[in-house]
C-alpha cells in the first residue's frame, strides 16, 4: 500500500470568482521558503494537505508560501526568489491540485502584513517572548536579531485569521503558535466584537515531529548545519538511501518503538509508518526477527519510492509558466477574501473612515 504522489496535468486555472455558495469550512496552512523542503515538511505538512484536499468536502483551501516569514532572518535575494518557486512547484509535485486549492505567495497579498500589525497590536510582548521557537532561534544568533523574529507569531496568526480558517494542518513544532493564534482571535473578539473564527490545529496521527537522522533527539530541520541530518525532497535518490542507511540508531538492535529509550529506530519506524500507513505495531511484528541493516535498507526503498514521483513532477513543473498562472489565480482569490475581511476589521477597530 505504498502511497504515490498524484500525477496530474496542471490545467491553466481561470482567475477565481467570488464563490456563489460559500464553502462551510476553510483550511489554511503555509511553509517557509528557507532552504529546501525536507521529509519532515512532507510528512508533517505537505502529505496532510494533499490528503485533506481529497477528503474534506465543502471546504475551501488556502495554501501559501510564507515568504514574509523567511525574512525574519537574513536571506540572499536570488536564493529567496528561487526557494519561493521551489516550494510552489513542490506543493504541486506532491499532489496539491490547483482546481481545489488556492495556492499563492504570502507577500503578494498585502492584507497579511496589515493584519499582522493589527495582531501585534492585540498581542503582548510577554507572550511573544515565551514562544519556544523564538527562544531557540534567538539562542543561535549572537547579534542582529530582527524584531520580526519576535513578532512573527502575530503574522502567522494573521495568515490564519484573515481567511476565517477552521482547520490548520501543521506539525508539532507549530502547536504553540496555533495556541497563540486562538488566544489572539478570542482576545480580539472580546475587545471589538465577534470578528474571527477561532481555528483548530490538525496534526498527523504519526509523523507530526520527524526527528533528525543524525541526532534523533532533535527535530529534522532544513536549517540544520549537518546535511546528513535531514532528507531534502530534491536530494539525489542514491544520497537519500545512504542517509537512511547511516541514520543514527542504538546498539541493542531490536526494532521497537520506544521514543525515549530508542529515539533513532523509533523515528525510522515513524517514517516507515507515515509513508506506508501501516501501523507501527504491525511493522514491529513484521521485523521482529530482522536487524537494523535490513530494516534500514527496506525503509530506504520506501522513502525513495515516495520521493521519486515527486521529483519527476517537480522537474516538469518548475520552469512551466502555468506555475505562474496558478500563483496569480491563487493570489487573486486570496486577496478577494482577505480584503473583505479587512473591511470588517477596520470597521470593528475604528480605523480609516466610514464607507
Give the footprint of ligand TYM on this chain (CB under 6 A): 28-32, 40-41, 43-45, 66, 69, 156, 159-160, 168, 170-171, 173-174, 208-210, 219-220
Nearer CB in complex with ligand TYM: 260/355: 260
Nearer CB in complex with ligand TYM: 160/316: 160
**219 has catalytic annotation:** yes
Nearer CB in complex with ligand TYM: 107/249: 107
- Of 6, 51, 100, 137, the catalytic one is 137
CA gap 2, 273 in Å, rounded: 10
- Of 36, 222, 243, 296, the catalytic one is 222
Residue nearest to ligand TYM (CB): 44
**344 has catalytic annotation:** no
In angstroms, give the least distance from the CB of 70 to ligand TYM: 9
Q: How far is CA 38 from CA 152, 163, 170, 284, 295, in A?
A: 22, 27, 14, 25, 21
> Are the C-beta atoms of 206 and 252 separated by less than 8 Å?
no
In angstroms, give the least distance from the CB of 326 to ligand TYM: 19
In angstroms, give the least distance from the CB of 111 to ligand TYM: 14
CA-atom Rg of the chain in angstroms: 21
Residues facing residue 101 across a β-bridge: 61
Nearer CB in complex with ligand TYM: 41/249: 41
Grid cell, residue 195, equals 470578528
CA gap 67, 304 in Å, rounded: 28
Q: What percent helix, strand, coil does the chain show, rounded to 5?
A: 55, 10, 40
- Surface-to-core class of residue 245, CB atoms within 10 Å of its CB (0-12 exposed, 13-18 middle, 19+ buried): middle
**296 has catalytic annotation:** no
In angstroms, give the least distance from the CB of 307 to ligand TYM: 15
Nearer CB in complex with ligand TYM: 43/150: 43
Of the candidates 187, 168, 30, 50, which has an alpha carbon nearest to the alpha carbon of residue 109?
30
In angstroms, give the least distance from the CB of 355 to ligand TYM: 29
**Residues that are catalytic:** 137, 219, 222
Amino acid at each position: 500500500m505504498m502511497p504515490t504522489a498524484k500525477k496530474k496535468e496542471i490545467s491553466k486555472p481561470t482567475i477565481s470568482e467570488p464563490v456563489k455558495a460559500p464553502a462551510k469550512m476553510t483550511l489554511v496552512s503555509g511553509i517557509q521558503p528557507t532552504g529546501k523542503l525536507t521529509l519532515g515538511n512532507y510528512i508533517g505538512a505537505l502529505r496532510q494537505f494533499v490528503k485533506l484536499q481529497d477528503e474534506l468536502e465543502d471546504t475551501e483551501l488556502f495554501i501559501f508560501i510564507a515568504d514574509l516569514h523567511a525574512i525574519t532572518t537574513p536571506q540572499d535575494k536570488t536564493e529567496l526568489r528561487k526557494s519561493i518557486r521551489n516550494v510552489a512547484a513542490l506543493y504541486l509535485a506532491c499532489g496539491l491540485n490547483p482546481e481545489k486549492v488556492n495556492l499563492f505567495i504570502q507577500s503578494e497579498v498585502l492584507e497579511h502584513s496589515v493584519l499582522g500589525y493589527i495582531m501585534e497590536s492585540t498581542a503582548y510582548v510577554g507572550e511573544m517572548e515565551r514562544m519556544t521557537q523564538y527562544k531557540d532561534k534567538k539562542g543561535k544568533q549572537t547579534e542582529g536579531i530582527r524584531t520580526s523574529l519576535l513578532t512573527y507569531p502575530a503574522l502567522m496568526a494573521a495568515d490564519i485569521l484573515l481567511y476565517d480558517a477552521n482547520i490548520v494542518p501543521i506539525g508539532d513544532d507549530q502547536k504553540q503558535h496555533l495556541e497563540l493564534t486562538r488566544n489572539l482571535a478570542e482576545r480580539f473578539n472580546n475587545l471589538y466584537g465577534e470578528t474571527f473564527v477561532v481555528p483548530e490545529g490538525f496534526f498527523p496521527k504519526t509523523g507530526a515531529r520527524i526527528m533528525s537522522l543524525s541526532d534523533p533527539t532533535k527535530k529534522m530541520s532544513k536549517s540544520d548545519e549537518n546535511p546528513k541530518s535531514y532528507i531534502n525532497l530534491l536530494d539525489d535518490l542514491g544520497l537519500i538511501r545512504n542517509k537512511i542507511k547511516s541514520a543514527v540508531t542504538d546498539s541493542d538492535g531490536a526494532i521497537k518503538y520506544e521514543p525515549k529509550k530508542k529515539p533513532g529506530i523509533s523515528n525510522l519506524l515513524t517514517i516507515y509508518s507515515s509513508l506506508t500507513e501501516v501501523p507501527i505495531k504491525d511493522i514491529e511484528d513484521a521485523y521482529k526477527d530482522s536487524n537494523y541493516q535490513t530494516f534500514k535498507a527496506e525503509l530506504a526503498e520506501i522513502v525513495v519510492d515516495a520521493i521519486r514521483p515527486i521529483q519527476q513532477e517537480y522537474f516538469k513543473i518548475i520552469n512551466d509558466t502555468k506555475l505562474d498562472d496558478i500563483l496569480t489565480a491563487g493570489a487573486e482569490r486570496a486577496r478577494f477574501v482577505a480584503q473583505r475581511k479587512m473591511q470588517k476589521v477596520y470597521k470593528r477597530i475604528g480605523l480609516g473612515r466610514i464607507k
